[in-house]
Amino acid sequence: MTIFAMLTSKVTGTVDTPDIDDTTSFWRWDFAWEVLPEMLRSFIQVTLLVTVVGTLIAVVLGLAIAILIRVLPRPLAWFITWVANFIRMTPIVVQLLVVFYGFVWMEPMTIALLVYGVHYSTYMSEVYRAGIDSVPTGQWEATTALSMPATRVWSRVIIPQALRSTVPSLGNYAISMFKDTPFLIAISVMEMVTTALEIGGFTYRYIETITIAGLIFLVASYLTAVLVNRLEKRLAYKH
């Protein structure tokens, strides 16, 4: 019975019990190769998708939060800060469950993208805030002396300089989002770790599936770190 058939048999109720001999060896390469495509499918369609889209949302929204806190009147800035702190200090699994049961008309995958994006935007907003604060006072004074429009000040002067010091931290949060995707099991989204546990439950073999999941996480995190490092060097070179 193929791995795909095992997973789909849960819906039809025709689950085949594997032979006892399948569980006697510690590691089986043939089984590992058999489950690898299904693990990669779950990684690409769920884990990677949630991380990439969630990161894009967090990067943009986090920057918007940091700028709004800086430019808005103090009462509004305080309110946005309070909301961001509340979201940041609340466990992401709780947020998933609240949105899942509170907005029952939304698809679980849509909930995942929004919750992860908004949750991590609050962390990234703090990173942006620190980067903005690190811009020398003379740069702000120069833009004022030149009477530059606010949009030009932020897009051409402040944000480019702030990004040079924030890229490593932003990349670390993207990697953290990778490792937080197993929480999606709380809203019945079959990400990679959940798939590994499902296959293990059907076959009584967990070593291969969990190990493969860990290795995929390791490779994805390493490649992300390499890309972030190269982006950091490129921004530093432009400086």
C-alpha neighbours within 13 Å on the C-beta side of residue 204: 11
The total of structural domains in the chain comes to 1
Which domain does 202 fall in, by range?
A: 42-238
Helix (H, G, I), strand (E, B) or coil at 112: helix
pTM, 2 dp: 0.85
- 24-58: b (≥16 Cβ within 10 Å) or e: eeeebeebbebbbebbbebbeebbbbbbebbbebb
Distance (Å, whole) CA 197 – CA 149: 55
Per-residue pLDDT reduced to its tens digit, 22-43: 555 788 888 999 999 999 999 9
Whether the predicted pLDDT of 55 surpasses 50: yes
Please indicate, yes or no, if residue 91 is contained in any of the structural domains: yes
Q: What is the pLDDT of residue 22?
A: 53
Instruction: Average the pLDDT over 207-223 and give the result.
Output: 93
Please indicate, yes or no, if residue 145 is contained in any of the structural domains: yes
Amino acid in position 161: Q
Instruction: Average the pLDDT over 128-138 and give the result.
Output: 86
Please indicate, yes or no, if residue 31 is contained in any of the structural domains: no
Q: What is the pLDDT of residue 7?
A: 56
Mean pLDDT of the chain: 85
Q: Residue 51 is part of a domain; what is its CATH number?
A: 1.10.3720.10
Q: What is the pLDDT of residue 50?
A: 95
